[in-house]
Amino acid sequence: MILVTAGQMQRMDHRTINSFGIPGMVLMENAGRGALDMLVRKFGLLKEQKGADQKPCNRKSDNQRVGIIAGRGNNGGDGFVIGRYLMEKGISTTIFLLSTQDKVAGDARANMLLAKKLMEKTPGAKLIEIPDAEGLARQKNHILHQDLFVDAIFGTGLNSDVKGFYKEVIELLNKSKSPVFSIDIPSGLNSDTGEVMGVAIKATATATFAFAKAGHILHPGNQYTGDLEIIDIGIPGFIARDEEVKLFLMEKKEIAPLFAPRKLDSHKGGFGHLLVIAGSPGKTGAAALCANAAMRSGTGLVTLGVAQSLNSTLESLVIEPMTLPLPETLEGCLSDTCLAPIQTFLKDKQALALGPGIGTGKTTQTLVKKLVEETLVPLVIDADGLNCIVGSLELLKSRKAPIVLTPHPGEMARLTQKTTTEIQADRKGIAAQFAREYQVVLVLKGAQTLVCCPDGRTLVCPTGNPGMASGGMGDVLTGMIAGFIAQGFSPEEAAMAGVFIHGLCADFLAENTRFGFLASDMIPAIPRTIHALLS
């Protein structure tokens, strides 16, 4: 699913009206009518009856009262269209205009006048001006008397904090016990970032036009949007394609086709051989989690390369993966003396996972840097592997193979010399810029994990839950992504599939317990999660 910015949506509207020739009034009519259909379905405004004599209904009464809270811009214009259709259906409708009528202009004004004209023929329908805080105080009880609100205050162009009596209106609606149906985007949300601009409507549902907006999906906007539905308003496809949208929401329909059916005569040699270089004293679990997750992801063969003194310990933790004992330092860690045997072993392998629990000693850093620079198979670098290249990012530009980096926000902060707070404040912007600059696939973990591609595309993962806040989850993800690459997925495909399925495993586990499940619990869930994805 593509996610557009306010600027992209404005350009598409402008081209549709001025170049393609569909009038703005037509787009507004399409928007209002489509939103009305969702409103009726979502909130059961009409009884299901045979014939044309439908009557309005409410679980509480025979006539549900709908209050449309309209601003003076085009979002308010959409609200006027909805109000008109509600009146036509015999539903009690009051439009509360947060302005005076003389300040409403353009297509919004034309639709306001149409709504007023219909009100003359519709008993009980009203348009009430609320231009300021005093007007709000006078109408407060009348507003709260409504059973359902339509939020048509601000559209996608909001770029400053909500203040004054507009803030009071939003707070009033949020405190009411009535559901709120937002038009295009909940008023008060930043359309591009999902940021709450001081205060925002907490919508029960949102009807958005043409395309989902980034702010609907990105946290915290996703907590305010409610049920989201996209309404086709008639923008031609070629206009949308010309925008070259770079932000997307991952969907099941895009992940499932990556898994080709396996032939009856398949064998382990046909599904790749992955080498995992990981582990150090006290961190053997990270290495085992990574290797076992790769096997459970369908990889044909996995070999775990570890310091020779740790080999006996890890052989009891990994049954199916093989092990490769490697020369070690006096401290039991890997060093650059391992480079030659690793390179020899990699000659006929398909991928390398590097870093889980490997440590950050000086000689280990040397090994990691040389592997980044010289390895000829795709690499997935995580955890200590990332920490080992801090300050040496130029290696990423001189490497010889594709690279996937999987930092959490703290590791991303170290890589970019920023604070974790700065990373979290602009996850999408910083991660996408890094991926473009260094031509890597960057997986920025956390709530709504991002997959950023070298061509500027960013994909937002919708799966996962707070139960994943547990040690070792990243090691499992590294094994999954690297395992998919070994099976023949491109680095971008592997990152998408790994992130989506990793979160989906956690969502399945959360059906039984919302917290307390472990990274090791995720591993046996991988095969059945993939099976469910393909079903």
Q: Band of the pLDDT at 211, cuts 50, 70, 90? A: very high
The reported pLDDT for the residue numbered 56 is 40
Q: What is the pLDDT of residues 272-320, one digit of tens each?
A: 999 999 999 999 999 999 999 999 999 999 999 999 999 999 999 999 9
Right CATH number for 260-534 from 3.20.20.140, 1.10.3720.10, 3.40.1190.20, 1.20.1050.10? 3.40.1190.20
Domain 2-245 has what CATH class? Answer: alpha beta
| Residues facing residue 228 across a β-bridge | 206
Helix (H) or strand (E) holding 3: strand 2-4
Share of residues in the chain with pLDDT > 90 (%): 94
- Percent of the chain that is helix, strand, coil (3-state, to 5): 45, 15, 40
Residue 427 CA to residue 413 CA, distance in Å, equals 11
Which among 72, 60, 511, 471 has a CA at the least distance from the CA of 289?
471
Question: Alpha carbon of 87 to those of 23, 36, 123, 192: distances in Å?
Answer: 24, 11, 9, 34
Q: 291 CB contacts (<8 Å, ≥6 apart)?
A: 276, 278, 302, 304, 318, 321, 479
Q: Is 234 left (phi over 0), alpha (psi -120 to 50) or beta?
A: left
With both helix axes pointing from N to C terminus, report the angle between 473-486 and 284-296 in degrees, rounded to the nearest 10.
40
Which among 306, 291, 384, 305 has a CA at the least distance from the CA of 346?
305
What's the DSSP call for residue 196?
B
Whether the pLDDT of residue 128 is over 80: the answer is: yes
Q: Band of the pLDDT at 513, cuts 50, 70, 90? A: confident
The reported pLDDT for the residue numbered 309 is 97
With both helix axes pointing from N to C terminus, report the angle between 74-88 and 106-119 in degrees, rounded to the nearest 10.
20
Residue-level length of the chain: 535
10 Å Cβ neighbour count for 419? 12
Largest CA distance in the chain: 91
Q: 204 CB contacts (<8 Å, ≥6 apart)?
A: 42, 179, 180, 181, 226, 227
Q: Are 476 and 290 in contact (CB under 8 A)?
A: yes
Q: What is the pLDDT of residues 31-66, one digit of tens each?
A: 999 999 999 999 988 654 334 444 444 343 456 899
Domain with CATH 3.40.1190.20 in the chain: 260-534
Domain with CATH 3.40.50.10260 in the chain: 2-245
Residue 165 CA to residue 133 CA, distance in Å, equals 5
Q: Is 389 helix (H, G, I), strand (E, B) or coil?
A: coil
Q: Band of the pLDDT at 191, cuts 50, 70, 90? A: very high
